[in-house]
Amino acid sequence: MPLSTPTSKVSLAQRWLFFFFVYGALAALSLWLSYEIRFSGGVALTPADTDVEGFLFTQRPQALLWVVPLKFLLLGLFGQFRGVFYYFRLHDALRMVFALSLATLVILLLPFVSGMNGPTATFGLPRSVAVVDFNLSLLLFVGFRVSIRTLRERLTVSDKAARTTLERIAIVGAGNAGEQLASDLLSHRGHGLQPVCFLDDDAAKHGLEIHGIPVEGAPRNFTSLVEKYGVTEVILALPAQSAKRIREISALAVASGLRVLVVPSLTELAGGRVRATDLRPVSVEDLLGRSPAQLDDTAIEAMITGRTVLVTGAGGSIGQEICRQVALRHPGRLIMLDQCEALLYQAEQDLIAAGGGALICPVVADVTDELRMREVFARHRPALVLHAAAHKHVPMMEPQPGEALKNNTLGTALVAALASEFAVTRFVLISTDKAINPTNVMGASKRLAEMVVQSMQGRPGNVTQFVAVRFGNVLGSSGSVIPIFRKQIAAGGPVTVTHPEVKRYFMTIPEAVGLVLQSATQGEGGDILVLEMGQPLKIIDVARQLIELSGFRPDIDIEIKIVGLRPGEKLVEELQHHGEQYRTTKHERIFRFVASGTPYDALEGLLSDIRALLPQEKSVCKQGLKRLVPEYVPYLD
């Protein structure tokens, strides 16, 4: 129904009439009582106050006629009538204070402006009455709104809470995140969680209270909390980099039979993506101990906003996250390309659900199909290409090296050549730390892809900036150890680890993709950039932690079985080639390698040699691959 209809006008008039009745009554009561308090007992407190009855019976009724409308007008100007009546928070109270302060200032100045004072002066309120009225108004107005809010919250949640079994929780971390969580849970008891105590390592907070909830001490013995408060769950509200402490506290809580949950990071809370009450179980990601990378969002948005972006391998774990982060930065068009229509469909549906449906264009295509890829470039004319399409599973590529070379190397060469031909501004190859001194086919094929990209920078007439970005394993990607371990734990074990000393570098998918986009803004053309990966983790330690987080005991409830290194697998991945040097960039977590690439004149010969290897038997193909990548150490049957 249009807002101009009589029904809407009546509704608006009723709303203003309601507010005038409520606030007018409070304002009148405040002023009336102020006169009573000031002149109680009929005693004049100053020589000027000689006619008490004049103030009470002559001036007070006249003052009501203009002071009440004045307050009502100023409260309206400060937005008090635009909000929902039973919602009242700090910013509403501050606006109310400003409105009443201005009203009091007007009341105090009017006698001087009008020149009227005394018991019969309409605008000559005693200053003492104005001050008392200001304090009473604050008390009545704020108190009334807070009472309405409190009463509504109790009435609306009491029935839901009565039907819900309350879990009594201990919040570990008495900082901002813990305080916000407690506030939300106390305000919305329908969550079924009742905070009963805080725990914090900061001794200065011990013995204090937050929202009436005591800070008991440091998190040590959870058994005593179970006995004292009946605690059934522990919620961690700790910084993301407190990995060691999260691990220790989780172990203590699990040993006491308590379920452990975590609060989203302050970065997520500040971004508005989640609420403090969006709790989840502790995950291996929480145990990485890496603080979130700080990105230059201005530079990334300048690179993406309003431009056409092509993402190959858009259906994969990395590709989907790239698409999500690109879509958040308002591209003119996002071309999502993948040869697997099932994965591409899922990625498309996720972005549509997130509100990016108008931006995206899914394309089913194979990056080795020249005619199809040329059609894609000619039709969409991308300004930025993020090339994530690749065969990445080491054990699967080892017995079929020709497929790895065809997709990872020749596919990259084709997409890069088209990017240069169609004057794409930037081309970014998603590479891997397995390309460094490779011991497997997948790594060697990605090393060749890096060489192709570096060589393409020297193509005659090229205007495209080509960059390759290396990073290690990402937690939760398809085929990575975490999903495999979780599936094995769910099946009751055993959890299989290849070697007790095998180590890997890990990053979360969002951090890796964010740094890839940051790298794209810093590449100078022909660069190989590497992301700072932190310290490598022992895979067997990751397995133990995941078993513990699942509520089991390693080697007791769930067996850990050593199965031996797979063909082409290293004990520890490396960060740079032999003889390769690197220098820092503008970002502390991105480094640039200094290495001479293959001249463009030799590129076609390199690609011809690769094509000749495709139909060869795997051992012959690997030996030929070693001639092209001298640092490659092949695994031969």
DSSP 211-245: TTEEEEESS--HHHHHHHH---EEEE---TT-HHH
Contacts 24+ apart (CB under 8 A), 448-451: 448/405, 448/408, 448/409, 448/606, 448/610, 448/628, 448/629, 449/390, 449/408, 449/409, 449/412, 449/413, 450/528, 451/597, 451/598, 451/606
**Ramachandran angles phi, psi of 402, nearest 5°:** -60, -40
Report the C-alpha dihedral over residues 604, 605, 608, 614, rounded to 10 degrees.
Answer: -120
Q: How far is CA 548 from CA 117, 243, 249, 558, 630, in A?
A: 79, 15, 12, 10, 43
DSSP percent split of the chain into helix, strand, coil, nearest 5: 50, 15, 35
CA–CA separation, 558 and 387 (whole Å): 40
- Side-chain half-sphere of 21: how many Cα atoms within 13 Å? 6
DSSP 302-330: HHHBTSEEEEETTTSHHHHHHHHHHHTT-
CB-based contact 523:450 (threshold 8 Å): no
The question of whether 434 is a catalytic residue gets the answer yes
Q: Dig out the tokens for 120 from the structure.
A: 């019969």
CA–CA separation, 508 and 18 (whole Å): 54
Give the helix ranges, DSSP H, for 369-428. 370-380, 394-397, 401-404, 411-421
**Ramachandran angles phi, psi of 263, nearest 5°:** -90, 145
Point out the catalytic residue in the list 434, 446, 570, 622.
Answer: 434
Sign of CA dihedral 474, 480, 485, 490: positive
Sign of CA dihedral 382, 388, 389, 390: positive
Q: Dig out the tokens for 289 from the structure.
A: 């101990």
Consecutive H or E run containing 562? strand 560-562
Q: How far is CA 622 from CA 407, 431, 442, 555, in A?
A: 16, 20, 11, 39
Known catalytic residues? 434
